[in-house]
Amino acid sequence: MFYDSVITHPQDTSYDVTVNNTGALHIDYQTSSLSLGLNAAQSGQGNGAIAIGPNAAQMNQNNYSVAIGNSAGHTNQGIGCIAIGSGAAMSNQGDHSVAIGNNAGHSVCNPGDIILNGGGETHLDAVPDQDASFYVNPIRAVEESTGVLTYNNSTHEVSQTSNVTLSGQIRNVPTSSRVMTTGLNNSTISLDNLPYFYFGDGNTYTITAGTHTFGDRILVQVDSGTTLNFDSTIVPSFSHTTAGGMYTFFYDEAHLVRVSSDTY
């Protein structure tokens, strides 16, 4: 092991140290930056930045950013960024963004984005020019759901709940997408072919799931005085018999699942 320069008093900030003439380890006491690995932070490393791994943050790593992994944050890593994983945020990572996992944000990682990739060698890129977005892969599909994820705009917490109240604004669905049921008392209605169903004639209906593909979402609106009996093809089966209501359903590959409800 050969030293290009030696510091006898690390408190002296007028020097830096490089271990091996390949630049495999470089500590800059003036800028409080660190690089470890062949070609890591080869040029243009900012203050308080860390680059670990071959070719990590090789060119133009900005202040207070971290790049760990082969070619992570390779070129033009922004301010206050984190790139962890082989090929994570390889070029032009936006300021204050996070890319974790192999090839997370490989080609596109905008300012403020959070990208978590557990999909192996598959690239997970952000939508171009859409800042401050969250991406994650994979998410496990389940046959039956007991709750939905919600987001608190004040605390920024993601949490799970089984009680979701929809705002009244969702009722403003264009008339062209409605199914107006009239004079079909005691009929069976399948929730297929259209995303929105409206029941408001005071009759009684049996509601069945119908035919769907994964990811279908259906909105059902029912006015006061109309009774809907949702059969066993819908999870959970239930009846609506009193006030007006709004229900949202999601098809999860096996069942049409009620994910939210609201009465008015």
Distances (CA, A) of 22 to 2, 25, 35, 133: 10, 8, 12, 39
What's 27's DSSP letter? E
Question: Is the confidence at residue 135, as pLDDT, over 70?
Answer: yes
What's 124's DSSP letter? B
Rounded distance, CA 25 to CA 35, Å? Answer: 6
Q: Give pTM, 2 decimals.
A: 0.61
Question: Is the confidence at residue 83, as pLDDT, over 50?
Answer: yes
Give yes or no for a contact between 264 and 247, defined as CB atoms under 8 angstroms apart. Answer: no
The tokens for 119 are 């999909």
Residue 66 burial (C-beta neighbours within 10 Å; 0-12, 13-18, 19+) = buried
> Residues 6 or more apart from 166 whose CB is under 8 A from it?
246, 248, 260, 261, 262
pLDDT above 90 covers a percentage of the chain that reads 39
The long-range contacts involving 83-92, CB below 8 angstroms and separated by at least 24 positions, are: 83/57, 83/109, 85/117, 86/53, 87/123, 88/117, 89/115
Rounded distance, CA 182 to CA 208, Å? Answer: 18
Give the other-Cβ count within 10 Å of 34's Cβ. Answer: 18
Rounded distance, CA 224 to CA 227, Å? Answer: 8
Rounded distance, CA 261 to CA 248, Å? Answer: 6
pLDDT band at residue 146 under the 50/70/90 scheme: low
Strand 25-28 to 33-36 pairing: antiparallel
Residue bearing tokens 């169903």: 197
Rounded distance, CA 28 to CA 10, Å? Answer: 11
* Rounded average pLDDT over 233-237: 89
Rounded distance, CA 90 to CA 45, Å? Answer: 15
Phi and psi based region of residue 202 (left: phi greater than 0; alpha: psi -120 to 50; beta: remaining): left
Residue 153's pLDDT is what? 76
Among 12-21, 194-203, 221-230, the range scoring the smallest mean pLDDT is: 12-21
For 164-219, write each residue's pLDDT tens digit: 554 444 444 445 455 555 556 678 888 886 788 888 778 888 999 888 887 788 88
Domain ranges (residues) in the chain: 1-139, 168-263
What's 91's DSSP letter? B
